[in-house]
Amino acid sequence: MNNIKYFNSIKTQYKRSLIYTRLGFEKTNTSIEPEQKKQIEKWITEAEFLCKVSVIFRTVCLSTNQKNKVILTQHNETMISKSLWNLLQNSKEAILMAATAGVGIMDEIKQLQEAGNMTKAIVYDAAASQITDAGLDWVMAYSKQQLIRKGASLTHMRYSPGYGDLELYNQDIFYRLLNLENWGVEITENYMLIPEKTVTAIVGIESPKS
Amino acid sequence: MTKEQFKEMVSKGIVILDGAAGTLLQELGMPTGICPEKWVLDNPQSIINIQKQYVDSGSDIVYTFTFGANELKLKEFNIDDVIGINRELAKLSRQAANGKALVAGDMSPTGQLMEPFGMYTFEEVVCSYKKQVAGLLEGGVDLFVIETMMDIQEARAALIAVKESCDLPVIVTMTFERGGHTINGTDPLTALITLQSLGADAVGCNCSTGPKEMIEIIEKIKPYAKVPLVAKPNAGMPKLVDGKTVFDMDATEFTRYTDEFIKAGVNLLGGCCGTTPEYILGLSEAAKGKRAYESANKSNDLILSSSRRIVSISNNLPTCLIGERINPTGKKKLRQELRDGSMDLVTEYAMDQVDEGALVLDVNAGVPGIDEAKILTKMVKTLSTFVTVPLCLDSSSPEALESALRVYPGRALINSISAEESKLEKILPIAAKYGAAFILLPLDDNGVPEKADDRIKIIESVYEKAKEYGYTKSDFLIDGLVMTAASNQEASLETIKVINWSNKEFGANTVIGLSNISFGLPERTWINAAFLAMAMSQGLSAVIMNPGSQETMRIKRATDVLTGKDRGSNHYIKTYGADRGITRVEKQEAPVFNCVLEGRQSEIVDVVKAELTKGVPPVELVDNHLIPAISRVGELYQAKTYFLPQLIQSAEAMEAAMSYITPFLEAEKKQTNTKGKIVLATVKGDIHDIGKNIVALMLRNYGFNVIDLGKDVEEEVIIKTAVNEKADIIALSALMTTTMEQMRKIADRVKTEGIEVNILIGGAAVDESYATQIGAAYAKDAYLAVKKAEELVVKR
């Protein structure tokens, strides 16, 4: 069909402290009782269990010959963004990737909210966001390892639709090229992805010249 | 080459491996995007020349150019002849080595993940590796190397494939990211324990990092290594300079690390990406005549592993708690679930026990009439994916144990092996094949010996047999064999004697299954706790018990302190310390106030009830306790002393109290003042509502009447409701740039139609300047939304 790779239930690596940061925890200011901390830690562990992180990614060829335009040459798709164009200046290829935490965690968050358990819901929500993002970190680490032997590497950062000047409508390109529909992800007319904890990104491959 | 010959070679000095081939082949014109192995077969002289240079530079072992020549990788290039390609490439390396160096058959990741993460089963991956092994054997390799492994389970599959195909030595190296873990979360020590127990002849790391990071890894794992250690670092990290890949460490700098590597304990040393024969020459000269340092602090702990962590068991460490609850004996519901193939209770018990302090989980699938091998394997697969603690496989079925051990991605503990002939003959070889540790149960075909001396004889005989399979005293736990005190009070002392002997004379770690001691007696907890303390005082290393028994856990932790096993009382203080450096917020004498301040939702209604019973008027509870408390919580949140979960927890406690008090207020016809009416919604097209729900909760808490219209709400509905309800404020949330324009539309309509209502907006997509542009007020978070709403209502 194409070179799309799909792995599910991957074990993502992330720092729990980042979940606390998302929730407004400040190391120097915030005080938390041991029992509360224990409870929050338990909820994070439960969220980890509920998040079934799947990652979907593929390599695409690109051209940056036209200013501020990143053209995915084999697919005739163009993304207009000065920042992305700058980032991909040394790349002839890029990796399009998506990570989704699946429906289980979102159903649970919804139920918690309906049952009035907002505290647990927000902890689950923050944990799910962090864990899903870590899915993209996983793809980058995996790809880096594949590339290093070819003397190639990845650009120093990745870019996501809705980030900086890469408009959110570009989500549609990721959605189509990664066949996200096949993996149970939907896209709304406003380019939001469902399940809500689904993220996409593009990262450049910097290869030596032949 | 035999394993013994390999050992001997390593014992003589530092073994020099080769360096990179792929990056050099690219310089020789190998294009990208093709199958490198095929290109080398078409250009054989390229690899022969490179490997000859390595041999001339001092490499004792060169790796065949078969990194990507496993079945699954070759499939990507539509190449089917796995055996042929491996055979021919191995022959090229033999030609290059020309008898001056050994040739290692190189195996690497398939680029796929196996279930539950990917589409391939464990057995499919083993089979695919076996084809590569067959080809490499036909090509005449001297040993094998499994390298650059990212997934410990895949490394296990490759190792099993080699072990089941031949007796040649196998080196396994994993690749660890800069944070010190593989991308799937395995740390170097965990990898070492798993791979050396599974039969790797040398273990280590390659690629991903430069020498400095690898020295740290070798240093850290050396005390636990029973096999030689390997390092093959990159020449730093690759950079693109003028379109060429340049690694940032030259040969001189790279070579400078040799002594540090040797001091850290490395036995086999080479280079990975970016290294050339020049680097290897430097290494071989620097390492000439030197031997690896042996660690002075060799660990004698029994070490178990999962895919993500290890657990050490020793009489010098806090007694290791093995959770006993995943056992269907006497648990009707669990029995039924296992019959149905459901894992819900299994996972629930696992999570609870880990939370309560279990470091290892005993897993038993002993339900009459079920396929134990199938269910135990399913339990192991399920638990391996989400608990990080190692597992103890509790079964007497050799088939079930073999099936579960094969897929378990770590070093498991087997519960148990006794001197019963059937067990010794069948289970011991299986345990040894997969490198599992085991619990040695001192009973034989005649039953349980009453006296300690007779149990000791059995222990010694099982140990003699286990030695034949390579087991040492640090590879098993001796079960003291706990008998029921109710039927024979002398029996408990015999168990204690076995523990004492094992600990002081024999020199092996011990374990007991605790709960049997109290069977048939009332208040079993006290008997259990007392016996546990007795056994621990004799040096007990591990206990199988229910970690949910708080009394027993308290005695266990206290005894760990009193026996010196919990050094510095660290675990005890961590568990029970009143103040762990966390500043407590101020409390008042009023209990209702404190409940809100501390977010004690489950208690607050009882506390309110008690206050009302005492005669405190409901309105006073609201005005003098609840509202001041939630206001204080808001201040603490503003000052960042509290973070979001605390704010919400307090708000939920407040809400619970208000729900209870409101009927009393209505009965007294004394309502607290409503601050104003707010129509709240997430705008059309936006499906995110958790932020909006938090705002709703907070606004209600502060006395606003909130009409929450939900998410993805049409502009018309919002406007109509605001008009009909005579709302003071329309509060809108949007998370995306594509939906925030809905806010402008609503604000415009309010203006155009002259509707007297304030607009308040919030959400990730918007900010103060956007709010000003559309003529709305802005709040960054839920608490500020309350403050802003208060301001807007006052202005009206």
Instruction: Tokens for A150, please give them.
Output: 């070819």
Per the structure, the count of domains in chain A is 1
3-state secondary structure (DSSP) of residue B563 = coil
Mean pLDDT for B405-433 is: 95
* pLDDT of B582 strictly over 50: no
pLDDT tens for each residue of A71-119: 999 899 999 999 999 999 989 999 999 999 999 999 999 999 999 899 9
pLDDT at position B585 is 59
pLDDT, averaged across chain B: 92
> Which distant-in-sequence residues (6+ apart) come within 8 Å of B224 by Cβ?
B189, B192, B193, B299, B303
pLDDT tens for each residue of B178-232: 778 998 889 999 999 999 999 999 999 999 889 999 999 999 999 999 999 999 9
Paired with B695 in beta bridges are: none
pLDDT tens for each residue of B27-38: 888 887 789 999
Instruction: Tokens for A79, please give them.
Output: 């993304």
pLDDT at position B81 is 96
- Looking only at the bridges linking them, the beta strands covering B268-269 and B244-247 are unpaired
* CA B205 – CA B214 distance, rounded (Å): 7
Please report residues of B whose CB lies closer than 8 A to that of A209.
243-244
* CA B261 – CA B255 distance, rounded (Å): 10
pLDDT at position A203 is 97
* pLDDT of A132 strictly over 90: yes
Return the top range by mean pLDDT from A3-7, B260-264, B737-741: B260-264
* pLDDT of B313 strictly over 70: yes
pLDDT at position B28 is 85
Residues 103-122 of A with CB under 8 A from B: 109, 113, 116-119, 121-122
- Looking only at the bridges linking them, the beta strands covering B268-269 and B229-232 are parallel
The answer to whether A7 contacts chain B (CB < 8 Å) is yes
Q: Which of B27, B32, B182, B597 to mutate to test the interface with A (most CBs of A within 10 A)?
A: B32
Residues 127-156 of A with CB under 8 A from B: 138, 141-142, 145-146, 148-153
Q: Do B685 and A190 touch (CB under 8 A)?
A: yes
3-state secondary structure (DSSP) of residue B513 = strand
> Which distant-in-sequence residues (6+ apart) come within 8 Å of B422 by Cβ?
none
pLDDT at position B579 is 44
pLDDT band at B583 (very low <50, low <70, confident <90, very high): very low
Domain that holds residue A197: 5-206
Helix (H) or strand (E) holding B732: strand B729-733
Helix (H) or strand (E) holding A72: strand A69-72
- B249 vs B765, higher pLDDT: B249
Q: For residues A24 and A69, is the Cβ–Cβ distance under 8 A? A: no
Among B531, B521, B548, CA closest to B494 = B531
Q: Do B347 and A49 touch (CB under 8 A)?
A: yes
Amino acid at B639: A
**CB count, 10 Å around CB of B52?**
20
Q: For residues B187 and B309, is the Cβ–Cβ distance under 8 A? A: yes
User: Alpha helix (H) ranges present in B563-667?
Assistant: 570-576, 591-597, 601-613, 618-620, 627-638, 644-667
The answer to whether A188 contacts chain B (CB < 8 Å) is yes
* CA B577 – CA A34 distance, rounded (Å): 9
Give percent of chain A with pLDDT exceeding 70: 98
Q: Which domains occur in chain B, in start order?
A: 3-287 (3.20.20.330), 302-576 (3.20.20.20), 591-667 (1.10.1240.10), 676-795 (3.40.50.280)
Residues 11-50 of A with CB under 8 A from B: 11, 13, 20, 23-26, 29-34, 36-37, 40, 42, 45-46, 48-49
The answer to whether B516 contacts chain A (CB < 8 Å) is no
Q: Do B685 and A13 touch (CB under 8 A)?
A: no
Helix (H) or strand (E) holding B334: helix B332-340
Domain of A117: which CATH number? 3.40.109.40
pLDDT at position A153 is 86
User: Alpha helix (H) ranges present in A12-156?
Assistant: 16-22, 34-50, 82-87, 103-114, 118-148
pLDDT at position B301 is 92
Q: Do B385 and A148 touch (CB under 8 A)?
A: no
Q: Whole-structure pTM over 0.90, yes or no? A: no
Residues 527-566 of B with CB under 8 A from A: none
pLDDT band at B584 (very low <50, low <70, confident <90, very high): low
* CA A19 – CA A2 distance, rounded (Å): 36
DSSP letter at A170 equals G
C-alpha count within 13 angstroms, C-beta hemisphere, residue A126: 24
Please report residues of A whose CB lies closer than 8 A to that of B701.
none
pLDDT at position B422 is 83
Among B379, B376, B407, CA closest to B153 = B407
- Looking only at the bridges linking them, the beta strands covering A153-154 and B15-16 are unpaired
The answer to whether A123 contacts chain B (CB < 8 Å) is yes
* pLDDT of B369 strictly over 90: no
Instruction: Tokens for B603, please give them.
Output: 């208690």
| Nearest residue on chain B to A111, alpha-carbon basis | B690
pLDDT at position B581 is 38
Paired with B231 in beta bridges are: B205, B269
pLDDT at position A151 is 78
Q: State the angle between helix axes of B690-701 and A103-114 in degrees (0 to 180), rounded to the nearest 10.
A: 20
Instruction: Tokens for B488, please give them.
Output: 């024979």
